[in-house]
Structure 1
Amino acid sequence: MLIKLQELIAELEINNTSGDLTTKITGIAYDSREVEKGFLFVAISGFETDGHKYIADAIANGAQAVIVEKEVEDVDIPMIKVNDSRAALAKVSAKFYDYPAEELTVVGVTGTNGKTTTTYLIEGVLNNLGLETGLVGTIKNKVGHKEESSSRTTPESLDLQRMFAEMLEDGVTHVVMEASSHALALDRVLEIDFDRKVFTNLSRDHLDFHENFEQYLAAKLKLFKSNDKPSIINIDDSRADKICSEIEGEVISYGIEGESDFSADNIAVTAQGVKYDLLTADDRLEIKLNLTGQFNVYNSLAAIATVASLDFSLADIKAGIEKISGVPGRFELVQEGQDYGVIVDYAHTPDGMENVLKTAHECSDRDVIVVFGCGGDRDRKKRSMMGQLGVNEADFAVVTSDNPRSENPVDIIAEIETGIKDLERDASEEYIVIEDRGAAIEAAVNRALSGDVVLIIGKGHETYQDFGDRVIDFDDREQARNAIKNSSW
């Protein structure tokens, strides 16, 4: 693909330019290592490194032009200076790939918890309806007929536009994607005209990045202010009124507690799944999910409301959603024939932790043993909160390491313990600390008796553990399977 530089940058707010703008561009990169001959290099001021430091490397690799947001000297290729390189990257990427999102029906899902499950449910239902679908999110990216591993919840704008273009070539018509608060704040989804926008819920998360809850909420709101297309809103969330007040287009509500367009009645939760009566203005329909927990009632209501808003019948939606067996690492059962439950879940926020602990208790009247830690280089204030939840909401807790990244795991665990030690009672007999996550999982499994539930949370589908200077293979599900096989149950 070839496009003149002057055409590519036509929609940018430019401070100044230098060099020949008729230069033909063959590709775009924001990582100098990905630059090839004829590419436009976009220098982004990142959080870990600054792309402006690598302009010389990009030129050496064949860059024909560069976009910058800082003063740069001694550059002998065409240079375009803008105020915001990230926004510029989104705009030139969409232009380069000829705005593929405009040819797709794109559903964006945002919220603290439930994004991944909700996107899986929407995509699964649409797929069952015979549509060619794409999926973008935390676990994987489904790009046409191939799957790509996912390194972040929402890819960078250039990668998103490439995926959309490939999806179009593969015949995809509908794309369902997670829209993280980071992506919204950093303009990764700037040039995507979402056809449907879904809000799941909002609770404490990512405050290491957003600094405070107001900024976190503001980032989420950007999705709903992007256009006047219909928004599907969890009306039971405490921030629903605020979000609805900012929406110009149609609001389609769902919930359990308040009045809503799509609601659930007669909810029955078991270890095998959940069933409920779906209520709309015109219908009452029994839904039987192969996922359990009240939080999945919310996730399924969001999915049903979204697909229904795309003019598909409730009967067809019911048929599709009831076929979905589960989502990797989301309240995922690990079964090796044992007479106690072992469940792996991605919950890594206080709200998510409380939800899955509540569901674990709903699945069994025996003890719930929770294994958890907290990620390094992330919001430190939630650590003590999760420590208290671990001993208050479970019958026994095993505090361990998660992804410590650049922090010392012992220091993270100590901060988790501060919450436990601040309780008004002595909880020292209600938990143990085992830094090694594999050993912690083994200890929890060995402690379980018939009918108990071992809940391993924090990493879910992840197949690695990040220690900052190294990343090792580690899968909670595989660790649990091995522990069960080696136990004496």
Structure 2
Amino acid sequence: MKLADVLDQNQYRLVQGTLDTEISAGVTADTRNVERGSLFVAVAGHRRDGHTMLHEAFEKGAVAALVTDPESAAPAGMTVVEVPDTLAAVSFTAARLQGEPGRSMKVVSITGTNGKTSIAAILESILGHLSPAPVGVIGTGGPRIDQTPLPLKVSTPTTPLANELQAILRAMADRHTETVVMEASSLALVEHRVDHAFTDIGVFTNLSHDHLDDHGSMEAYRQAKMLLFSGLSGQAVANADDPVTAEIHTLMPGRVTTFGIEQDADYRAVDVRVSTAGTAFTLLHQGQRHEAGFPVPGLFAASNALAAIVVCRLLGYELEDVLPALKAVGQIPGRMQTLSLADGTTVVVDYAHSPDSLEKVLDTLRGLTANGRLITVFGCGGDRDPAKRAPMGAIAGRLSDHVVITSDNPRIEDPESILDAIEAGLGPTGTSYDRITDRREAIARALSVARPGDTVLIAGKGSEDHQIIGDRKIPFQDIAVVRQLAEIVTH
């Protein structure tokens, strides 16, 4: 495709070269991925500025470059075009070079602090029951079609970089995928990764303390989430129990369908009953009452189920078909994933890694552990928002009978300093606790002190299959460690 066609209908200025330059190998902002015929986009990264790498990109085969600084030194044989925002340019050029695949599918993008992965998995299961057409998922568990992983490069978790995302969407469209369910992280929205995914339905789950290391303040974090509803989505599905939804109504008047438990909503769950078998509730919609159930316990689980129900309705499915499919959803890996041990202990593995999510999970398990103790194993990520560590320690201490604090991807930060910060919140609660840096040893300790009837929550990593220590990714999965250490009765 000629560069003129790639840039068509977007603002740009030719600095040198010709717009007839043929782009034959895709777009990238990483010189390591440049191929002969590539379009290189100069993005100012955390460590290096792409504007200083134009010669390197050219030597590796890039035939053109997009820049924001027209004075950047570029080789004479390279076509250079100035654009207002190179991050945004990666998105629209990648989409154009892939033939804008999002247009041919129904795209559902989910944003919010908690619930993205769970709602995506619920939708994947329900739609798999209701339609013979392939269902695509893009998120924390990696891209997949009908639960089969796509062997495509993803260099960042949750929401891939724009060029990777467009390649995934292209692969899904080529396999006749009808609906794509995508997690849209706040950072991805700020970096324009989903700008040209052509989202039909944007879903908002909730907003609570998290990712302040990326955004600096809760206000900036909120604004990042709202980008999905500022021209990127055709319709919105929003949580009426979160005050942020009022802003979504303002941004998308007449195009918002709400769900909720505490507040009145288009789809509301009342008479919520939580048990070890899951969550049952009465769904109120347009004056009608429908009995519904979902095999995951907790008010938050009911909220996630409601969001999935509304999306399915907007996709054209009837409640009498959706609700039975909801009951048939299986356990979601790393999301309230439950194992029953031979000694009578229940182990729950969950991704809860923010103060709000940890509190909700512990509240739920506290209510389900009437005849036993609740033991919590958790840590906090290194090089990530340190302000949440003490609050999470306080929450764990207040709601648990015993706590084991440990490592959770310490990265290049000193693991002991992370535990010090957690301990500052945990200690004053008076709850007994162990401090064990090695996560495997911490899990083993929790299992060893547990008695029949106790529940052990292992929080923070969910289905992650590695531990990041220093600059190394070491294979590690909480659920696998539990299975290695204990005799399992049921899943």
SS in 2 for 1:230: strand
Cα distance in 1 for partners of 2:395, 2:147 equals: 42
Distance in 2 between residues matched to 1:454 and 1:54, nearest whole Å: 51
Q: Which residue number corresponds to residue 75 of structure 1?
A: 75
Per-residue CA deviations over 1:69-106 (Å, capped at 9, x if unaligned) read: 23321423111122311101111111111211111111
User: Does the CA-based 8 Å contact 2:51-2:67 persist in structure 1?
Assistant: yes
* 8 Å contact kept, 2:195–2:232: no
Return 5+ residue gaps in structure 2 as ranges: none
CA 1:49–1:326 in structure 2 vs 1: closer, same or farther (change >3 Å)? Answer: farther
The secondary structure found in structure 2 opposite 1:308 is helix
**Displacement after TM superposition at 1:193 (Å):** 2.4
- TM-fit CA distance, 1:40: 1.0
Give matches, 1:150-229, under 5 Å: 151-227=156-232, 229=234
TM-score, normalising length from structure 2?
0.94
Distance 1:332 1:210, change over 3 A: same
Aligned to 2:418: 412
- Residues 11 and 337 (structure 1), Cα distance of their counterparts in 2 relative to 1, 3 Å cut: farther
Q: Following superposition of structure 1 onto structure 2, how do residues 266-415 of structure 1 map, counting pairs within 5 Å?
A: 266-365=271-370, 366-415=372-421
- Equivalent-residue separation in structure 1 for 2:33 and 2:336 (angstroms): 37
Instruction: Measure, in 2, the Cα distance between the counterparts of 1:48 and 1:477.
Output: 35
Q: What's the RMSD between the two structures over aligned residues?
A: 1.8
Question: What residue identity is the alignment partner of 1:419?
Answer: G
CA shift for structure 1 position 208: 0.6
User: For residues 384-426 of structure 1, what are the alpha-carbon distances to aligned partners after superposition, in whole Å with 9 as ceiling and x for unaligned?
Assistant: 10111111111111111111111000011111112234x3x6x
Count how many residue pairs are aligned between Structure 1 and Structure 2: 480
Matched, 1:26 2:32: no
CA distance in 1, matches of 2:146, 2:334: 23
| CA distance in 2: counterparts of 1:146 and 1:49, whole angstroms | 36
> Unpaired runs of 5+ in structure 1?
none
> Aligned letter for 1:170?
R
Give the direction of change, closer, same or farther, for the CA distance of 1:415–1:256 in structure 2 (3 Å limit).
same
For structure 1, which segment, 45-54 or 263-272, has the greater mean C-alpha deviation from structure 2 after superposition?
A: 45-54
Stretch of structure 1 that moved more, 294-303 or 40-49: 40-49
Shift of 1:53: 3.9
| CA deviation profile, 1:28-47 (whole Å, cap 9, x unmatched) | 22221222111111122122
Residue 264 of structure 1: how far off its partner (Å): 1.3
CA contact (8 A) 2:52 2:72 kept: no
| Corresponding letter in the other structure for 2:359 | E
Structure 2 equivalent of residue 40 of structure 1: 39
1:60 and 2:59 correspond: yes
Output the CA distance in 1 between the equivalents of 2:50 and 2:80.
14
Residue 7 of structure 2 aligns with an amino acid whose one-letter code is I
Quote the Cα distance in structure 1 between the aligned partners of 2:233 and 2:311.
15
SS of 2:143's equivalent? strand
Q: Is the 8 A contact 1:369 1:444 kept in 2?
A: yes
Shift of 1:227: 5.0
Q: Matched residue of 1:446: which SS?
A: helix
**Preserved contact between residue 202 and residue 233 of structure 2 (Cα < 8 Å):** no
Cα distance between partner residues in 1 of 2:443 and 2:353: 17
Letter in 2 for 1:370: T
CA gap of 1:188–1:396, structure 2 versus 1, over 3 A, is same
Distance 1:5 1:234 in 2: 42
Cα distance in 2 for partners of 1:396, 1:146 equals 39
Q: Name the CA distance, whole Å, in 1 between partners of 2:460 and 2:65.
A: 40
Measure the CA separation in 1 of the matches of 2:337 and 2:106: 30
For residues 470 and 453 of structure 2, the distance between their equivalents in structure 1, rounded to whole angstroms, comes to 38
Comparing 12-21 with 326-335, greater Cα deviation is found at 12-21
Q: State the shift of 1:63 in Å.
A: 1.3
Q: Deviation of residue 450 (structure 1)?
A: 0.6
Distance in 2, matches of 1:343 and 1:144, equals 26
Note the C-alpha offset of 1:144.
6.9
Note the C-alpha offset of 1:123: 2.2
In structure 1, how many angstroms separate the alpha carbons of the residues matched to 2:145 and 2:85? 29
In the TM superposition, residue 143 of structure 1 has moved relative to its aligned partner by 4.3
- The percent identity for this pair of structures is 37
Tell me, in whole angstroms, the C-alpha distance in 1 between the residues paired with 2:353 and 2:232.
31
Question: Any idea what the Cα deviations from partners look like across 1:212-265, whole Å, max 9, x if unmatched?
Answer: 011100011111112562211110113222332332342211111111111112
Amino acid of the residue matched to residue 205 of structure 1? D
Q: Which residue of 2 aligns with 1:51?
A: 50
One-letter amino acid matched to 1:436: D
Task: Please give the alpha-carbon distance, in whole angstroms, between the structure 2 residues aligned to 1:49 and 1:341.
Answer: 48
Which residue number corresponds to residue 442 of structure 1?
A: 444
Q: What's the offset of the Cα at 1:290? A: 1.7
- Secondary structure at 1:334's aligned position in 2? strand
Q: Any idea what the Cα deviations from partners look like across 1:339-362, whole Å, max 9, x if unmatched?
A: 111011101000000011011112
Change beyond 3 A, Cα 1:294–1:364 = same
Contact 2:201 2:233 in 1 (8 A): no
TM-fit CA distance, 1:146: 4.3
Equivalent in the alignment of 1:454:
456
Deviates further, 73-82 or 349-358: 73-82
Q: 1:108 to 1:147 in 2, by over 3 A?
A: same
Cα contact 1:144–1:171 (8 A) shared by 2: no
Deviation at 1:15, TM superposition (A): 4.2
Conserved? CA contact 1:228–1:249, under 8 Å:
no
The DSSP-based 3-state class of the residue aligned with 2:39 is strand
Q: Which moved more, 1:339-348 or 1:142-151?
A: 142-151
Q: Report the Cα distance in structure 2 between the residues aligned to 1:168 and 1:346, rounded to whole angstroms.
A: 30
